[in-house]
């Protein structure tokens, strides 16, 4: 294989994106789908060419050799593969979604974003990584704020937090280069791991700076607020990509740099808590707190996209917990859950996008009963929430099981309890969304709603299959892990096509699925043997002899959906859930005040002289200092 293919993966989508800026909207969406087919093809061609490297070295302002190195690693390829498979389904979905009425101008930027994504997963030098990262931040900002005021506000909020993280990462990269003189990711990882014995505080600072960057991108505490704004306000079809793939960049970063550093650090250099270095233990609790916040906020949210955004936050918390166990089982569990979450949250958002496409509503209590008119969308959503709740035989169960095994192995039972709380809370909000949107009474407004268009339905069907396969045959995904684990010096995990072995048990996905199938078959036969049933109208209900119509209650008001969990609200009143938001708001106000001060000096003509004087002074002072 020519190494130029690596460059192609980055340059091609970006190039097409730039070209399509000049094209009509609808055409650009076709181009978008086409680009994704090409990307997927190239990615799968690269499957067996691990180690393939493309490097460009040049001298910039005589600061030393800058290298833009792209290479296929086991980890990078895995992320590339799952993201490009998910992306092609999302883009097929978008093709029908962006019809004359709904089309947004997101396609060109989305193409550039895909190039940036590929760049992130291929980069083997920090410079290239950072370029790709910045490109990704900018383009996603442009897509999220797609010309509507609330969207723009959400985009700015997202970008501000992301920017903070990026700055931290940049500082980390500079320090790293300063110390090691190398931009290479693998080399610097080894160096910094060795530095933990000699230059502990330096190594800690650098790792912490990187961690802040990655935590901010993956919305881990205390950066957990941006998804509920960004995911909710982004274009509906883009939300699937945002929640499925973009939230994982931080996870990729942690898996690429932070976790290997702690895994390679010589034993005895750091205080060990519960079998892991203390920063990892802190990460475990940060992630656990994230998942609890995500869960509780999701339970009481009424906006369906916002609800699922909080659910994403909770899931990223699980992944963070898995990574923090610093073991091969935990690392594998994190990768597995990343892949599964990509698909199931993608299908959930796709189903919601289909609902919004047909109804135009986003607040759940205004919907209801859509399962009877949109059965494919309903099934997609149903399988999505079964996977998200971690119920066998779907994919989510296997990865959640693995996360618990990793926690049991390290005896982190208290973290596991917190995670189990979130996992049980997931039933609450997922069922709430299922009921309020798809079950219950169908409003007369939506009686004539049709199933989602063909390509949308088709991509949702494939998403359903992709949720079932890793559930029944976990080996289809876990089979890739041992190479990745080996490349970071972790021991391999035991897995076959059907089964996985954890620290306290082993499970066989195929057996669980077969047994469940048998049980359903038994019940189905019993159901058929019973006396016949006949169908009645939805409003033909038991109502203690009262007729709802007498009370002016139509289907819309007869649908129990608003404030679903009101009775248990008092239980969570003590939680300081809004504390971080308040802190940020204070910060924002003081920045704004400072901004006003600056602008009042510069904008006012009479003070223009002062600005001039201060400017001159600054130049003189810096000159003298030098």
Question: Cβ closer to another protein: 234 or 416?
Answer: 416
Question: Cβ closer to another protein: 12 or 389?
Answer: 389
Task: Name the token pair of 451.
Answer: 């199933």
Residues β-bridged to residue 363: 303
Please identify, among the stretches 135-143, 211-219, 321-329, 393-401, the one whose residues bind another protein according to the rule CB under 8 A. 393-401
DSSP 48: T
624 binds another protein (CB under 8 A): no
Q: Of how many residues is the chain composed?
A: 626
Dihedral (CA of 565, 571, 577, 582) sign: positive
Question: Cβ closer to another protein: 172 or 440?
Answer: 440
Question: Cβ closer to another protein: 344 or 401?
Answer: 401
Distance CA 328, CA 213 (A): 24
Of the candidates 22, 454, 536, 624, which one interacts with another protein according to CB under 8 A? 536
| Residue entry with tokens 């609200």 | 569
Question: Cβ closer to another protein: 78 or 404?
Answer: 404
In the complex, least distance from residue 507 CB atom to another protein, rounded to whole angstroms: 6
In the complex, least distance from residue 301 CB atom to another protein, rounded to whole angstroms: 15
| Long-range contacts, stretch 506-511, CB < 8 angstroms, 24+ apart | 507/398, 507/401, 509/392, 509/393, 509/398, 509/471, 509/472, 509/473, 509/474, 510/472, 510/473
Distance CA 224, CA 287 (A): 10
542 binds another protein (CB under 8 A): yes
In the complex, least distance from residue 315 CB atom to another protein, rounded to whole angstroms: 16
305 binds another protein (CB under 8 A): no
Residues β-bridged to residue 499: 508
538 binds another protein (CB under 8 A): yes
550 binds another protein (CB under 8 A): no
Ranges within 399-458 binding another protein (CB under 8 A): 400-401, 404, 408, 411, 413-414, 416-417, 420-421, 424-425, 427-428, 431-432, 434-435, 439-441
Ranges within 555-574 binding another protein (CB under 8 A): 555, 558-560, 564-565, 567-568, 570-571
In the complex, least distance from residue 449 CB atom to another protein, rounded to whole angstroms: 15
Of the candidates 131, 164, 177, 372, which one interacts with another protein according to CB under 8 A? 372
CA angle 135, 141, 147 (to 5 degrees): 135
Question: Cβ closer to another protein: 100 or 535?
Answer: 535
Dihedral angle, C-alpha 368, 373, 379, 380, nearest 10 °: -80
Question: Cβ closer to another protein: 506 or 600?
Answer: 506
Listing DSSP states for 87-128 in one string gives HHHHHHHHHHHS-TTT--S-HHHHHHHHHHHHHHHHB-BHHH
382 binds another protein (CB under 8 A): yes
596 binds another protein (CB under 8 A): no
3-state secondary structure of 510: helix
506 binds another protein (CB under 8 A): yes
535 binds another protein (CB under 8 A): yes
Dihedral (CA of 303, 305, 308, 313) sign: negative
Contact 228, 261 (CB under 8 A): no
Exposed/middle/buried for residue 24 (C-beta within 10 Å: 0-12, 13-18, 19+): exposed
285 binds another protein (CB under 8 A): no
Which residues lie below 8 Å from residue 70, measured CB to CB, with a gap of 6+?
A: 3, 6, 7, 10, 53, 54, 55, 119, 122, 123, 124, 128
In the complex, least distance from residue 467 CB atom to another protein, rounded to whole angstroms: 14
281 binds another protein (CB under 8 A): no
300 binds another protein (CB under 8 A): no
Of the candidates 163, 164, 285, 516, which one interacts with another protein according to CB under 8 A? 516
| Residue entry with tokens 């009686």 | 447
In the complex, least distance from residue 582 CB atom to another protein, rounded to whole angstroms: 26
Number of residues near another protein (by CB under 8 A): 79
Ranges within 128-167 binding another protein (CB under 8 A): none
Contact 17, 142 (CB under 8 A): no
Q: How far is CA 555 from the centre of its chain?
A: 36
369 binds another protein (CB under 8 A): yes
533 binds another protein (CB under 8 A): yes
């Amino acid at each position: 294989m020519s190494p130029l293919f690596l460059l192609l993966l980055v340059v091609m989508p970006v190039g097409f994106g730039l070209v399509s800026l000049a094209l009509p909207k609808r055409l650009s969406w076709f181009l978008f789908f086409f680009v994704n087919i090409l990307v997927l093809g190239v990615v799968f061609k690269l499957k067996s060419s691990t180690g393939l490297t493309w490097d460009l070295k040049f001298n910039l302002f005589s600061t030393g050799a800058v290298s833009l190195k792209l290479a296929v690693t086991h980890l990078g390829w895995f992320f590339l593969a799952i993201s490009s498979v998910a992306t092609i389904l999302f883009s097929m979905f978008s093709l029908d979604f962006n019809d004359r009425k709904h089309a947004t101008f997101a396609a060109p930027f989305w193409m550039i974003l895909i190039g940036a994504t590929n760049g992130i997963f291929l980069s083997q030098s920090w410079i290239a990584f950072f370029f790709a990262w910045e490109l990704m931040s900018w383009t996603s900002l442009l897509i999220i704020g797609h010309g509507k005021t609330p969207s723009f506000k959400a985009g700015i909020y997202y970008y501000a937090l992301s920017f903070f993280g990026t700055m931290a990462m940049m500082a980390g990269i500079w320090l790293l280069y300063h110390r090691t003189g190398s931009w290479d990711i693998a080399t610097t990882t080894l160096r910094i791991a060795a530095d933990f014995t000699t230059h502990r505080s330096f190594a800690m600072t650098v790792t912490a700076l990187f961690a802040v960057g990655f935590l901010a991108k993956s919305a881990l505490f205390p950066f957990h607020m941006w998804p509920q704004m960004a995911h909710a306000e982004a274009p509906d079809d883009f939300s699937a990509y945002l929640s499925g793939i973009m939230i994982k960049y931080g996870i990729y970063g942690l898996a690429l740099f932070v976790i290997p550093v702690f895994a390679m650090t010589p034993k005895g250099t750091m205080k060990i808590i519960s079998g892991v270095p203390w920063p990892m233990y802190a990460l475990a609790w940060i992630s656990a707190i994230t998942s609890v916040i995500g869960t509780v906020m999701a339970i009481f949210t009424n906006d369906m996209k916002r609800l699922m955004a909080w659910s994403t936050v909770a899931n990223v918390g699980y992944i963070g917990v898995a990574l923090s166990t610093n073991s091969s089982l935990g690392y594998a569990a994190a990768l597995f859950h990343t892949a599964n979450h990509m698909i199931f949250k993608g299908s959930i958002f796709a189903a919601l996008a289909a609902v919004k496409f047909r109804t135009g509503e986003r607040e759940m209590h205004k919907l209801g009963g859509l399962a009877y008119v949109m059965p494919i969308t309903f099934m997609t959503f149903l399988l999505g929430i079964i996977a998200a709740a971690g119920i066998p035989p779907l994919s989510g169960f296997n990865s959640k099981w693995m996360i618990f095994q990793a926690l049991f192995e390290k005896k982190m039972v208290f973290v596991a309890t917190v995670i189990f709380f979130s996992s049980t809370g997931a039933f609450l909000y997922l069922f709430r969304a299922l009921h309020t949107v798809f079950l219950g009474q169908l409003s007369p407004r939506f009686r004539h709603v049709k199933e989602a268009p063909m390509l949308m339905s088709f991509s949702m069907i494939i998403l359903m299959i992709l949720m079932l396969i890793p559930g029944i045959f976990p080996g289809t995904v876990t089979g890739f892990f041992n190479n990745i684990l080996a490349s970071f010096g972790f021991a391999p995990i035991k897995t076959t096509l059907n089964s996985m072995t954890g620290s306290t048990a082993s499970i066989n996905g195929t057996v669980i699925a077969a047994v469940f199938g048998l049980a359903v078959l038994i019940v189905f036969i019993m159901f058929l043997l019973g006396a016949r049933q006949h169908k009645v109208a939805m409003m033909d209900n038991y109502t203690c002899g009262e007729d709802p119509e007498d009370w002016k209650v139509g289907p819309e008001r007869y649908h129990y959906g608003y404030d679903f969990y009101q009775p248990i609200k008092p239980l969570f009143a003590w939680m300081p859930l809004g504390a971080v938001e308040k802190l940020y708001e204070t910060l924002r106000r003081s920045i704004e005040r400072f901004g006003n001060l600056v602008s009042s000096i510069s904008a006012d003509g009479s003070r223009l002289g002062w600005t001039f004087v201060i400017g001159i002074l600054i130049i003189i002072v810096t000159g003298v200092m030098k």
